[in-house]
Structure 1
Amino acid sequence: MSPDRRAAMAAGSLFLLTEVSAIAGAVLYRPLLGAAEGRLAQSADTQALLGVLCEVVLVAAVAGTGAALFPVLRRHGEGLALGYAFGRLLEAAVIALGTTAVLALVTLRRDTGTGADAQTAGAAGADVALEALHEWTFLLGPNIALGLNTVLLAYVAYRARLVPRFIAVLGLIGGPLICASAVAVMFGAYAQLSVAGSLAALPVFAWELGLAGWLIVKGFGSGSPAGPGPRGTR
C-alpha cells in the first residue's frame, strides 16, 4: 500500500469516526444540558461521562484528520496544508474546552446533591454559566471552525482533483452555509438545535460522509501526486 493510499484510508476512517463520536456524545450528554432553569436532569451523570469519552475520541479524530492529510495537501501548497492542520487543531481545542464544561457540570451536581431543592442560587447560576460555555464552544468549534476548515480542504480537493468535484462542491457549499448559520444563531435568529440549524448542517454532513467513503474506497485522485497545480485529471 502506497503512502498516499495509507493517508487516504487513515483520513477517511477518522472522518467517519468524527461523525459517529460527535453524534454519540451529543446524544449521551444532552439530558445533562437539557434541564430547564439550571436544574440538572436526574440520573444523567454516568451517561454524561460516557458522552465526554465520546468527545475525547472526537477531539483526537478531528486533530488526526489534519495530521493524516498534511503530507498530501502539502504538495498543493504548504501554507494551505499548515492552515488546515492548525485549523483542525483549533477546532479540536474548542471542542475540548466545551467538554470540560460538561465535566464541571457533573462535578457541580455531585457537590450540591441530586435533588432540585439542593440547588442553591449560586450553584444554579454556575449550572447556567457552564451550560452557556458549552453551547458557545459548540457554536465556535463544530460550526464556525468546522465551516472554515471545510472550505479550505474542499478548495484544495476541488483545485487538485483529489476527489470527484461533486464531493468537493458539497464542501464549498456546506462550509459557508454552516458558518452563516452559526452567525444567525449568534444573533438570535434561531436556536442551534432547530430545524433551520439542522438543515444548514446537512451539506457539511454529506461532504464529510462522501469524502470519507471515497477516501476509504478509492483513495486520492490523480491530482495528489502532482505538484501544486490543478492539472491532474481523472
Structure 2
Amino acid sequence: MNSSQNSIPTMTTRTIARTVGALLLAAFVLYGVGNAIATGAADDSAMLTLGVSMMLANSVAVVAIGVLLVPVLHPHSPLVARIYLATRFFEATFLSVGAIALLVGSAAVNFTAYNIAMAGLGIGSLFFCAQLYRTRLVPRFLAVWGFVGYAAFAVGSLTELAGVAGAGLIGAVPGGLFEIFFAFWLIVRGFTRQPAPTRTVMASESVWP
C-alpha cells in the first residue's frame, strides 16, 4: 500500500487547520474578555453571568481543539494524540472550575484554577510541539517557538502558584504570542501534508511458516 494513502486527505486537514486556528483565536478572546468582565462585575449581576458564560464557552473551544487535532496527530503518534487531548480536557476542566467559582464570589479559586490549567497546558503541549518538530507538520521554527512558549507557560504558572506574584503573566507572554501566530498560520497556511509512517516488515515477520 502506498504510504500516502494513510495520510489524512488534503481537504480534511485544511478544514481542520482553519477550524483549529479560528478556535484558538476565539478561545483567546472568550477567556480574556470573559474573565475581565466576570472579575470586575458585581455579585449576582447580568455582567457576571455573561463573563462566566464566555469563560465556559472558552472551555468548550479548548476541548474542541484537542478533539480536532487527534486525527492529525494520531497517524504519527497515537500516544501524543492522546496526551494532547487529555491536556486540553485538563485545561478546560480547571478553567471551568475557576469560572464557576466566580459565581460564588471566589476569585482566589479562579486564580488558582487558572494557573493549574496553564501549568497543565504548558507541560502537556511540550509533547505536541515536539511532534510538530519531528513531523514537520508546520515549520520547525514554529514548533520550537511553541515548545519554548509552553515551557514558559508551565514554569510561570507553577512559580505563580508557589507565591511569586506576576510570574504567570510574564511566562504567558511567549506562549500567548505563539498561540496567536500559530492560529493565523493554520488559517492561512494550514498543516504541511505529511504521509503517516509505515510499519516496516522485518524478516522474522515474513509470510513463510
What letter is aligned with 1:159?
R
Superposition map of 1:20-169 within 5 A: 20-32=29-41, 42=42, 45-105=45-105, 130-141=106-117, 143-169=118-144
What residue identity is the alignment partner of 2:71? P
Partner of 2:145: 170
Residue pair 2:35, 2:52 contacting (<8 A) in 1 also: no
Q: CA deviation at 1:199?
A: 2.5
When the two structures are superposed, what TM-score results if normalisation uses the length of structure 2? Answer: 0.84
1:217 to 174, 184, 188: 188
Post-superposition CA distance 1:100-127 (Å, at most 9, x none): 111222xxxxxxxxxxxxxxxxxxxxxx
- Say whether residues 1:227 and 2:202 are aligned partners: no
Aligned length: 190
Structure-2 residue corresponding to 1:37: none
1:227 alignment partner AA: P
Structure 1 distance, partners of 2:20, 2:115, is 24
Match 1:205 to one of 171, 176, 183: 176
Whole-angstrom distance in 1 between the partners of 2:91 and 2:162 = 21
The percentage of counterpart residues that share the same residue type is 29
How far apart in 2 are the matches of 1:75 and 1:139? 32
| Structure 2 gap ranges (5+) | 1-9, 200-209
Secondary structure at the counterpart of residue 163 of structure 1? coil
Cross-structure match for 2:20: 11
Cα distance between partner residues in 1 of 2:59 and 2:114: 13
Unpaired runs of 5+ residues, structure 1, are: 33-41, 106-129, 230-234
Distance 1:84 1:49 in 2: 30
What is the Cα deviation at residue 86 of structure 1?
Answer: 1.5
In the alignment, the residues of structure 2 paired with residue 145 and residue 45 of structure 1 have an alpha-carbon distance, to the nearest angstrom, of 31
| Local SS of the residue matching 1:2 | helix
TM normalised by structure 1 equals 0.75
Question: Relative to 1, partners in 2 of residues 1:92 and 1:228: Cα closer, same or farther, differing over 3 Å?
Answer: farther
Q: Which runs of 4+ in 1 moved over 4 A?
A: none
Q: Does the Cα contact within 8 Å between 1:29 and 1:44 map onto a contact in 2?
A: no
What is the aligned partner in structure 2 of residue 125 from structure 1?
A: none
